[in-house]
Amino acid sequence: MAQATNRVDVPVSVDQSKCIDGCTLCVDVCPLDSLAIDPETNKAYMHVDECWYCGPCAARCPVDAVTVNIPYLLR
């Protein structure tokens, strides 16, 4: 069945030019399991808008590629 696809502004962004192909640290540590590896690029991205803006993803990234913003509704 066809589904509506509403675009959402997600709080976590990953600098694709810095993100290391093969590293999964941010995906591993996210308490809400909201990050995933894009199978096409092998880089991390936010796959669901479920975020406590807590920050381990950014703090643990070995190359400072992850930025945590405040979810739009709170911003």
Which residues of this protein are in contact with another protein, per CB under 8 A?
1, 20-23, 25, 28-33, 48, 50-56, 59-60, 62-63, 68-71, 73-75
Closer to another protein by Cβ: residue 16 or 48: 48
Closest approach of another protein to the CB of residue 30, in Å? 7
From residue 74, give the alpha-carbon distance in Å to each of 9, 39, 52: 12, 31, 11
Q: Which is nearer to another protein, 40 or 73 (CB)?
A: 73
Question: How many Cβ atoms sit within 10 Å of the Cβ of residue 17?
Answer: 8
Number of DSSP helices (H) and strands (E) in the chain, helices first: 2, 4
